[in-house]
Structure 1
């Protein structure tokens, strides 16, 4: 891959994150409706702005994977160092997206490591990188790792080491909804709810505990069982679920991150084709 293609992969990942932010209504998550709400406008605007600050770091991760050529411990350490530097840049741009940087960084590196990979193969490539420990990472436990240890949840690290099973589930949900004739926004919302229905979200476990997590999973399943977001009954269930999570101030952020990962992987055939034409 060339440096142009590394940049293209990074831009595709940021575009996928932006697509996730633009979806509405997303139960418990920031969406464009927040632009009209004075109390949340800064949060949503800063998320959209700071997403762009991920681009240089993600391009550097792609370049590191392309240069290394193998999922080695050294590559994992380099990706970690790039990630920590990028976190600092994103903080200056408004903050947020730490979880997205972790997931998208591994998926971008996986795509750069295996340029012909598509779909599940990209997740498998990222899995081989995540299998190595980051020997240079700070030793202090993160909130996510502490919650994972307390409740036995896989967490972000476990999701990556398992080959991003919820990214793969979201890809399947996207394909099924499209085949059923759902317009793209509804297909993406159904994919989000599919992830939300089974993900052991450590953010939710921290704020709402196991009972809260199961409540959110059941709510997501309820929308899908009502027919999905493209049906009238499904949309009614979606709005009720969204109102419920906002009233409780519960935010299933991990599901949004993994949907962004799925949208990035889903876009790769188009991304690669456009890179070839530009070369």
Structure 2
């Protein structure tokens, strides 16, 4: 669906660029965010280069096929955001959702029905859509502006889709009914508060210290696992499973995390422990992708070439 107000060209710190070029750049960030999270190893309980985590229906090849199927849709999210730039944020979610559904269908066709990236499509799709809306209004992208835009788009989402629904139709809805945890919807409505508070400060500090990206992201992952109310963990292991993962991550952080001399060995042992308990923090994996995407943009200054 395309809104009537089509805004082109887009504004960036480099001047005026065609929509197609800007959408392609943002789409490349979204695509790389998915692949960066996938390749990060070792990730406790998750599919990576080491193993399939606590999963029996998906592996690295499943995720790569999924990412390839999703990639052509990222520019579309940006373009629709650009076209709907002057529609009220609170009224814009329904305009982009049909594209999200089509993107999910492409994913499921590529994976024979396995849900590999539904959370990633939701979060990164919203971020691309929000970026298109900002640029369509001539507003340079910063992390704060982009997160605020997504929060405005998702105003009332938790009330409409979690609190107001009678029958729980998805795992996320069932977790909300039992534990009151709002999951991906709540994270988006908060403007990705968990990422901004627990992940990006760690990422920025380590990047300024010259730590390589794999270690940076693994350390960020530990920080997220220590605090995130992961709906996948709650769905698989209940409160006890979530608390086990949080406590384990906090203990590793107290010992230096992956930056300690034996940090990677301990991270692999963490992976083995979650596999043995059939625990997979898939919601936290999505936050890693969001962290990487948002880190491409400055905190306050105008969008710069990356």
Q: What TM-score do the two structures reach when normalised by structure 1?
A: 0.88
- Residue by residue, what CA displacement relative to the aligned partner does 1:10-41 show, whole Å, maximum 9, x if unpaired? 22101111001111100111111238x9x969
CA contact (8 A) 1:170 1:195 kept: yes
**1:63 is matched with which residue?**
79
Cα-Cα RMSD? 2.5
* Aligned partner of 1:83 among 100, 107, 125: 100
- Residue by residue, what CA displacement relative to the aligned partner does 1:77-120 show, whole Å, maximum 9, x if unpaired? 02211111111111111141001111111111222222412223
CA distance in 1, matches of 2:118, 2:262: 35
CA contact (8 A) 1:23 1:185 kept: yes
* Aligned partner of 1:155 among 159, 183, 188: 183
CA distance in 1, matches of 2:76, 2:90: 17
Q: Of the two, which has the highest radius of gyration? A: 2
Cα separation, partners in 2 of 1:225 and 1:204, compared to 1, 3 Å: same
Cα separation, partners in 2 of 1:75 and 1:3, compared to 1, 3 Å: farther
**2:89 is matched with which residue?**
72
2:64 is the counterpart of 1:48: yes
**1:199 is matched with which residue?**
228
**Per residue, is there more helix in 1 or in 2?**
1
* Aligned partner of 1:127 among 135, 145, 151: 151
CA contact (8 A) 1:58 1:105 kept: yes
* Aligned partner of 2:36 among 13, 19, 40: 19
* Aligned partner of 2:120 among 100, 103, 106: 100
CA distance in 2, matches of 1:132, 1:113: 19
**1:277 is matched with which residue?**
none
CA distance in 1, matches of 2:79, 2:290: 19
| Residue pairs, 1:1-279, within 5 angstroms | 1=10, 2-34=19-51, 43-70=59-86, 71-94=88-111, 95=114, 96-115=116-135, 116-133=140-157, 141-168=169-196, 169-268=198-297, 273=305
- Residue by residue, what CA displacement relative to the aligned partner does 1:154-177 show, whole Å, maximum 9, x if unpaired? 211111111111221211110122
Larger mean Cα displacement after TM superposition, 48-57 or 246-255: 48-57
CA distance in 2, matches of 1:29, 1:23: 10
Aligned length: 270
Cα separation, partners in 2 of 1:173 and 1:129, compared to 1, 3 Å: same
Cα separation, partners in 2 of 1:41 and 1:155, compared to 1, 3 Å: closer
- Residue by residue, what CA displacement relative to the aligned partner does 1:121-169 show, whole Å, maximum 9, x if unpaired? 32121111111549x99x7632102211210112111111111112212
CA distance in 1, matches of 2:56, 2:260: 29
CA contact (8 A) 1:119 1:171 kept: no
- Residue by residue, what CA displacement relative to the aligned partner does 1:171-208 show, whole Å, maximum 9, x if unpaired? 11101222344221100111111111111111110110
How far residue 8 of structure 1 moved from its aligned partner, in angstroms, is 2.0
How far residue 55 of structure 1 moved from its aligned partner, in angstroms, is 2.3
Gaps of 5+ in 1: 275-279
How far residue 42 of structure 1 moved from its aligned partner, in angstroms, is 5.4
